[in-house]
Amino acid sequence: MFSTTWKSSIKPGKQRKYRLKAPLHIRSKFLAVHLSDDISKKYSKRSARIKTGDKVKVIKGQFKGKTGKVERIDTKTTRIYISGLEFQKKDGTKIRYPVSPASLVITELDLNDKRRQESLKRR
């Protein structure tokens, strides 16, 4: 069960329930990432939906300061996988590290998609 009224609730439990039980078309909106200052001024937007191919910089966590290209986006868990961010397990295998959209800043946009270009120029 899902209800949009949970979004406007002041209760943290209902806010968490809204994010947890949201359908994929709404979860997609949770993947908006802040734009860097120069891109933000250029398009007069604060954030944009992240896409594969964008270059991002990590601003929080153990990989703070690292930059890379977005390889994969998991809409279901709202996590982003970036090239170059991986950690080593005890057996020596390397795994890509999932990053939250809140800990990223887009430094370079991938503008191959015409629809994305239009959405950035709307304002």
Q: Dump pLDDT digits (tens) for 16-68.
A: 999 899 999 999 999 999 999 999 999 999 999 999 999 999 999 999 999 99
**pTM, full prediction:** 0.87
Domain that holds residue 83: 33-121
CA distance linking residue 58 with residue 56, whole number of Å: 7
Q: What is the CATH number of the domain that holds 81?
A: 2.30.30.30
Q: Is residue 25 part of a domain?
A: no
